[in-house]
Amino acid sequence: MNIGIDQISFYIPKYYLDLAILAERNHVDVNKYYKGIGQEKMSIPPHDEDIVTLAANAAYPIIQKNGASDIDTILFATESSIDQSKAAAIYIHHLLNLPQNCRCVELKQACYSATAALQLACAYIALHPQKKVLLIASDISRYDLDSVAEVTQGCGAVAMLISHHPRIMKIDNMTGKYTEDVMDFWRPNYRKTALVDGKFSTQMYLKALEGAWSDYQAQEGRAYDEFAHFCYHLPFSKMGIKAHQYLTRLNKQTMQAEHIDAAMIYNRIIGNSYSAALYLGLASLLDHRNDLEEQAVAMFSYGSGCVGEFFSGIIQTNYQQYLYTTEHQRLLAKRQALDYETYLEFWHYPEPTDGQTITIDQHNHSTFRLASISNHQRHYART
Ligand code: CAA
């Protein structure tokens, strides 16, 4: 069936930290971060951004352009949830003024859940081809200050419309999966920052890639040399390079940089956006390559804990006309660099646990912002 990604739009906050600042503070050569990890900047949310504002601002251009009348499901994928009970999708439903006859739910499995949401959405559209699903992946990646993982933080949201006859990417039916119970990265409910066994997590990523690729092949998936490009989950860009080296070796092929480079451009200057990272890679590929019509693209999704999934799709004819490249590049162009002190101030975000009222200073001049917290409730505003 012809089902897949009809629209794709991302959003990031206006601030970033250049990793040169952390290199100086940590007394390491900046090339360890720029080249060894493959990251130059990481997006940092000010106090009036959270996963809801990131998500609403990512989805808003899609709703403005396409309307919302056919959307009857919102799937919200995140690791950095703001509530143990209420789905962030419901805030989005309200902020975007979507129809009342809509279902809203939040999905979690570390950085993987947006891929589960995509597969569920495609299956749903197969049964209800006249409907559309709004799928949003939104995350703020936080590790302990002064830990080795600190340089692999970041944040962002990607919104996608999933539909019949998609204008961007048709998703193939065959898909390869891998699950194993491991503790490579996790975050107990009482923690704001992730716990991670860094080196082990990179090994598990590669093991899951091998398992998912082998399952994809067993489902009669496409051969390695059918793909014009490969998009990997990008906790940091070097991980994408290592993953591709691994897959090329498995397939006795030669590594070609042009098979992965375009998908890594945004990630290098945004950082890890967990559940959104793979789809930020897809947006990066589409925004930087206009020669992909009818080409097959491979996608590898990884979520620690762990689940990996290898799947694929075909980029559609005239896809270039339906992108948000100008909006994406405008967001990137207007970003401001933070100094270390302001980064620290934003990192320690205010979160009253006693129900007191706080009004949040305005930094974010995009459409939606977090305006206040009172009585344990978050209040969002349109700017
Ligand atoms: N110039 C160039 N390269 C340099 C250098 C220099 N001056 N100095 C060091 N390097 C290179 C090293 O040789 C190394 O390269 P290789 O990996 O190719 O060997 C690289 O820089 C990293 O250096 P270290 O090996 O010293 O690594 P580290 O101790 O700083 O830790 C990390 C790196 C494990 C990624 C750590 O930042 C981390 O734990 N990050 C969080 C975990 C993570 O992102 N895991 C990814 C898989 S899990 C996942 O994908 C889910 C998710 O999103 C979290």
Query: What's the distance, CA 143 to chain centroid?
Result: 17
* Best mutation site among 28, 37, 278 for ligand 1 pocket (most ligand atoms within 8 Å of CB): 37
The string over 110-139, giving b where at least 16 C-beta atoms fall within 10 Å of a residue's C-beta and e elsewhere, is bbbbbbbbbbbbbebbeeeeebbbbbbbbb
* Best mutation site among 80, 201, 203, 236 for ligand 1 pocket (most ligand atoms within 8 Å of CB): 201
pLDDT, tens digit, 9 for 90 and up, residues 170-185 = 999 999 999 999 999 9
Across the range 354-368, mean pLDDT stands at 96
Across the range 285-313, mean pLDDT stands at 98
Sign of the dihedral through C-alpha 267, 269, 272, 276: negative
| Residue of the CA atom closest to atom 37 of ligand 1 | 149
Cα 37 to middle of ligand 1, angstroms: 5
Cα 147 to middle of ligand 1, angstroms: 12
pLDDT surpassing 90 at residue 54? yes
Residue 207 pLDDT level (bands cut at 50, 70, 90): very high
- Token pair recorded at residue 104: 């809203």
Tracing tokens 């009348």 back to the chain, one arrives at 69
Q: Give percent above pLDDT 70 in the chain.
A: 100
pLDDT surpassing 90 at residue 311? yes
pLDDT surpassing 90 at residue 382? yes
| Residue of the CA atom closest to atom 48 of ligand 1 | 201
pLDDT surpassing 90 at residue 349? no
pLDDT, tens digit, 9 for 90 and up, residues 225-281 = 999 999 999 999 999 999 999 999 999 999 999 999 999 999 999 999 999 999 999
Residue 350 has a pLDDT of 80
Residue 327 has a pLDDT of 97
Across the range 287-316, mean pLDDT stands at 98
Residue 364 has a pLDDT of 94
Query: Is the backbone of residue 242 left (phi > 0), alpha (psi -120 to 50) or beta?
Result: alpha
Residue 285: burial class (beta carbons within 10 Å; 0-12, 13-18, 19+) = buried
**How far, in Å, CA of 52 to CA of 86, rounded?**
12
Element (H, E) at 345: helix 340-347
**How far, in Å, CA of 297 to CA of 291, rounded?**
12
| Residue of the CA atom closest to atom 11 of ligand 1 | 36
Cα 149 to middle of ligand 1, angstroms: 8
Name the H helices within 179-297: 198-218, 237-250, 261-270, 277-288
pLDDT surpassing 90 at residue 38? yes
**How far, in Å, CA of 31 to CA of 40, rounded?**
9
- Token pair recorded at residue 221: 């998936």
pLDDT surpassing 90 at residue 20? yes
Q: Are 293 and 316 in contact (CB under 8 A)?
A: yes
Residue 351 has a pLDDT of 84
Residue 306 has a pLDDT of 98
| Residue of the CA atom closest to atom 23 of ligand 1 | 36
Residue 145 pLDDT level (bands cut at 50, 70, 90): very high
Cα 32 to middle of ligand 1, angstroms: 8
Cα 131 to middle of ligand 1, angstroms: 43
Residue 199 pLDDT level (bands cut at 50, 70, 90): very high
| Residue of the CA atom closest to atom 43 of ligand 1 | 198
- Closest Cα partner for 268 from 284, 290, 256? 284
Ligand 1 pocket by Cβ (under 6 Å): 29, 31-32, 35-37, 110-111, 148-149, 151-152, 185, 196, 198-199, 201-202, 205, 233, 235-236, 239, 272, 274, 302, 304
Residue 1 has a pLDDT of 81
Residue 103 has a pLDDT of 98
Q: What is the dihedral of CA 110, 153, 60, 233, to 10 degrees?
A: -50
Q: What is the mean pLDDT of the chain?
A: 97
pLDDT surpassing 90 at residue 383? no
